Amino acid sequence: MRIENRVAIITGGASGLGEATVRSLLKAGASTAILDMDEGRGLAIAAELGDGAAFFKTDVCDEKSVQEALDGAVARFGAIHVVINCAGVATPMKVIGKKGPMAIEKFERVVRINLIGTMNVVRLAAGKMMENTPAEDGERGVVINTASVAAFDGQIGQAAYAASKAAVAGMTLPIAREFADYGIRVMTIAPGLFETPMLASLPEPAKAALNQMMPFPKRLGRPVEYAMLVAQIIENPMLNGETIRLDAALRLSAK
């Protein structure tokens, strides 16, 4: 699918990987809808980027909130062709901590945002995509979800995060097989360690240690490099039903 003149929805689009994707796709000629809870940042980005961008305050876990955002994007831009799910949280917690077993509510919150939130957006956006006029090869849309390398080699304290991201990776192929009848491709990106707000608060010695963990290149990934892969997935029609690690060959240690 060509990026130019398409409409892309980006959850978590007001920061990190999502913001980089918004900027990259807009530069490539797409219209972009930023879905995020951070209203101040989201409105500022949309105002900076101009008519090709719009912000919709969205709770990905809430059906009404997502539906209103999608309806708003269609009203503004005419259709939805691409959905990129970047919204997520990475709350560290041990199953058994110093104060005893983890609060199950904390586990549930991570799974709800990262997994249920992703599915909520996918199912509602796909309903919009099915209405699109088929393009070349009968393609109507592209869904790109975000997992993590923690889905495959999660560290101590990442049980909730790893479980949620493993589920996102695990549902990629079943959904791609189902959506094949509608001409909608489904892919997942599993980033390694990236320069995002999640890591920005770390002290410099900690960041230096993380850099040394990376095989090559020996640095954290840049959000624009995630956006580059998003663009390749959109434009390459043979990419479907797969999870791609974007991690510089990183394999996480136990802790």
pLDDT tens string 71-114: 999 999 999 999 999 999 988 899 999 889 999 999 999 999 99
pLDDT at 213: 84
Task: Give 204-237 pLDDT, tens digit per residue.
Answer: 776 777 778 888 998 889 999 999 999 999 999 9
- Annotate 223-253 with DSSP letters as a single string: HHHHHHHHHHHHH-TT--S-EEEESTT----
pLDDT above 70: residue 164? yes
**Domain range summary for the chain, segments of one domain joined by +:** 7-244
Q: Distances from the Cα of 153 to the Cαs of 95, 118, 172, 192, in angstroms?
A: 17, 21, 18, 11
Choose among 146, 161, 125: nearest CA to 243. 146
Mean pLDDT score of the chain: 94
What's the burial of 37, exposed, middle or buried (CB within 10 Å: 0-12/13-18/19+)?
middle
Give me 23's structure tokens. Answer: 């900027």
Known catalytic residues? 161
pLDDT at 122: 98
**Strand ranges inside 104-238, DSSP E:** 141-146, 184-191
- H or E stretch including 97? strand 96-97
Assign domain 7-244 to its CATH superfamily: NAD(P)-binding Rossmann-like Domain (3.40.50.720)
Write down the pTM of the prediction.
0.94
